[in-house]
Amino acid sequence: MILLSPLAALGRAALGFLAMVGRLSIYFGQTVSHMVRPPFYGREFLVALGNIGWLSLPVVGLTAVFTGGALALQIYAGGSRFDVQAVVPQIVALGVVRELGPVMVGLMIAARVTSSIAAEIATMKVTEQIDALVTLSTHPMKYLTVPRVLAALITVPLLVGIGDILGIMGGYAVSVHSLGFNPGTYLKNTIEFIEPLDIVSSLAKGAAFGVIATLMGCYHGMNSGRGAQGVGRATKSSVEAAAVLTLAANFLLTGIFFTA
Amino acid sequence: MIKLEQVEKSFGSNAVLRGVDLEIPRGTSMVIIGGSGTGKSVLLKCVLGLVTPDSGRILVDGKEAAKADQDAFLARFGMLFQGAALFDSLPVWQNVSFRLLRGALKRPRAEAKEIAIEKLRRVGLTPDVAERLPAELSGGMQKRVGLARAIAADPEIIFFDEPTTGLDPIMAGVINDLIREIVTEMGATAMTITHDMSSVRAIADNVAMLHGGKIRWTGPVAQLDSSGDPYVQQFITGSPDGPIEAVR
Ligand SMILES: Nc1ncnc2c1ncn2[C@@H]1O[C@H](COP(=O)(O)OP(=O)(O)O)[C@@H](O)[C@H]1O
Ligand SMILES: [Mg+2]
């Protein structure tokens, strides 16, 4: 019995994970079905656009610039061992657009947006505001979830696009100012190297990560336990789930786009 | 008319409602009394469909509530929550006229605001409160904003969960009169939870006492003092000695 109990624990965890995936899929399906049926809450959508898109710009921009700069330094240092430091612009472009741009933005959105959505909705839940919405003939999913998910679907790809550009600019600044690259050649190499598929994959990842981040915030908020502890737990779970799912989805999407 | 038949509800091992039977005729005011934690709020939420009973039936005008079209069903209700449950991201007037700003009952913004200010006045709040956020108000003021929101769309059925808790005696009197007025003038059906015996006498046509998960006693308010039920007697006199344990 004692020998079997780790197995049982593993089984329980696996079953728990599958149940979770099932619940999330159902929640996602419900969100989509509410998205395509009226009423649509335009004001809430505009507020969400501002909160998720506009207000995330500073943190996304800074993250991208520093990541691009660090990447250029690393590739230069690593490349010089094989005497291929000239590939810095190409590798920075590839690394930022295909992987680091979307992933860093996705994780920053999980930190910034998922946590605040989860805490807000969980607080609404424990203070009976969700119940109040229902009694006022307003479906919480239409009023709270749909505007946020739609806003992220639209703005996070834009944020990723901006993050890609700023990441490349970070690499450019470091390369030109401290690694002695020629500005014109650097930009030319970057632009000639990036292909349309790179950009498409980057933006598609952004859309997927945006949906994951907002959906996790809403789902964990709506299913919050009672009291302050419930809110804390919901917030923590939402960020964990969003971060892990973002990285898992990134792996899947990279596989889909780049193994042909 | 609202009719509950053998409604039961447990949360895990905590059996809160153990077979509640209750009838509230149309256009009358029912007051539910009972110790704290006996399940009065849960009972209201069962009727509204916010909590699903484990068994039993709830009929509104002869139709089973669980099977009704939820939007149309809830459009007839107004509810004041025990903790007011105001939306803290919206200013007070948008809370009050929430229903009038969206959905089936949507009106122009200016008109919705006017109605909000009028309803705020009825619960004893001045128009300058309208632009404030709920977090800037005292508990008693939030309660009254919640009340204004509950009556904003002139519902046919109104539930009040402890409407006067946290109010001073004068304001409590104003709210009692308001609830009475809504029932007599607008012909609404009301169900009110309260611990305040002066409220009970001011608001109620009928009184029901919830104890041990069942309706212990129910009858017209005039018979409350002569109910002959030791539980009711202890509750209305507020005596620590009697069949209701002080430690629950
Ligand atoms: N959502 C819930 N989950 C678990 N237990 C609950 C829930 N809502 C109420 N309860 C429990 O039901 C009992 C009755 O609660 P309530 O109806 O709020 O009492 P009151 O009569 O004071 O309004 C309490 O023991 C409370 O802990
Ligand atoms: Mg209560």
- A65-97: pLDDT as tens digits: 999 999 999 999 998 898 888 899 999 999 999
Look at the block and give the residue holding tokens 């999980």: A110
How many angstroms separate the alpha carbon of residue A95 from the centre of ligand 1? Answer: 54
Percent of chain A surpassing pLDDT 90: 87
pLDDT at residue A160 in the model:
98
Cis peptide before A39 (omega within 30 of 0): yes
Q: What is the pLDDT of residues A99-132, one digit of tens each?
A: 999 999 999 999 999 999 999 999 999 999 999 9
Q: Quick one: pLDDT at residue A260?
A: 67
- Residue A3: pLDDT band with limits 50, 70, 90: low
For residue B90, the chain A residue with the least C-alpha distance is A44
Where do the domains of chain A lie? 1-37, 40-258
CA B161 to centroid of ligand 2, rounded, Å: 7
The pLDDT score that the predictor gives to residue B144 is 93
User: Are residues B99 and A131, on separate chains, in Cβ contact within 8 Å?
Assistant: no
Q: Give the residue carrying structure tokens 């209700």.
A: B77
- DSSP per-residue string spanning B171-230: HHHHHHHHHHHHHHHH--EEEEE-S-HHHHHHH-SEEEEEETTEEEEEEEGGGSTT---H
Average pLDDT of every residue of chain A: 94
Tens digit of pLDDT for each residue in A236-258? Answer: 999 999 999 999 999 999 999 99
pLDDT on residue A1: 56
Question: Rounded distance, CA B143 to CA B86, Å?
Answer: 9
Which residue is closest to B80 within chain A, CA to CA? A132
In tens, the pLDDT along A194-240 reads 999 999 999 999 999 999 999 999 999 999 999 999 999 999 999 99
Asked which of B38-42, B102-106, B215-219, B226-230 is least confident by mean pLDDT, the reply is: B102-106
Residues of chain B with Cβ-Cβ distance to A45 below 8 Å are none
pLDDT mean over B2-26 = 96
CA–centroid distance, residue A73 to ligand 2 (Å): 62
Helix axes A101-109, A196-222, angle to 10 degrees: 20
Using an 8 Å CB-CB cutoff, list chain B residues near A124.
87
How does residue B248 score in pLDDT terms, banded at 50, 70 and 90?
low
List b or e across A224-255, with b for residues whose CB sees 16 or more CB atoms inside 10 angstroms. Answer: beeeeebbebbbebbbebbbebbeebbeebbe
Which is it for the CA torsion B36, B38, B44, B48, positive or negative?
positive
Average the pLDDT over B187-196 and give the result. Answer: 94
Residue whose pair of structure tokens reads 């402890």 in the numeric block: B162
Considering only CB atoms, which chain B residues are within 8 Å of A120? 89
Structure tokens at B227: 């109910």
Residue of B49, B88, B99 lying closest to A136 (CB–CB): B99
Nearest residue of A to residue B71 by CA position? A137
Closest ligand 1 atom to the C-alpha of B193?
Answer: 23
Section B227-240 average pLDDT: 91
Distance between CA atoms of A27 and A31, rounded to whole angstroms?
6
Q: Which of B102, B139, B105 is nearest to B147 (CA)?
A: B139
Binding-site residues, ligand 1, Cβ < 6 A: B 11, 14, 16, 34, 36-42
Does residue B51 register a pLDDT over 90?
yes
Which residues, at least 6 apart from A183, have a Cβ–Cβ distance to it below 8 Å? Answer: A172, A176
Question: Contacts of residue B11 in chain A, CB cutoff 8 Å?
Answer: none
Residue B225 C-alpha, separation from nearest chain A C-alpha, in angstroms = 35
Size of interface A-B (CB pairs under 8 A): 49
pLDDT given at position B244: 87
Report the residue of chain B nearest A38, measured CA to CA.
B103
pLDDT digits (tens, 9 = 90+) for B90-147: 999 999 999 999 877 889 999 999 999 999 999 999 999 999 999 999 988 999 999 9
- pLDDT value at B73 more than 90: no
pLDDT digits (tens, 9 = 90+) for A8-63: 888 998 998 899 889 999 999 999 999 999 889 999 999 999 999 999 999 999 99
Nearest by CB to residue B79, choosing from A129, A135, A138, is A135
Contact at CB, A132 and B85, closer than 8 angstroms: yes
**Does the structure show a pLDDT above 90 at B66?**
no
Beta bridge partners of B161: B193
* Contact (CB<8Å) B74/A127: no
Q: What is the pTM of this model?
A: 0.92
User: A238 C-alpha to center of ligand 1: Å?
Assistant: 26
What amino acid is encoded at A31 in this protein?
T
How are strands ordered across the β-sheet holding B63-64?
A: B14-24, B2-11, B55-60, B63-64
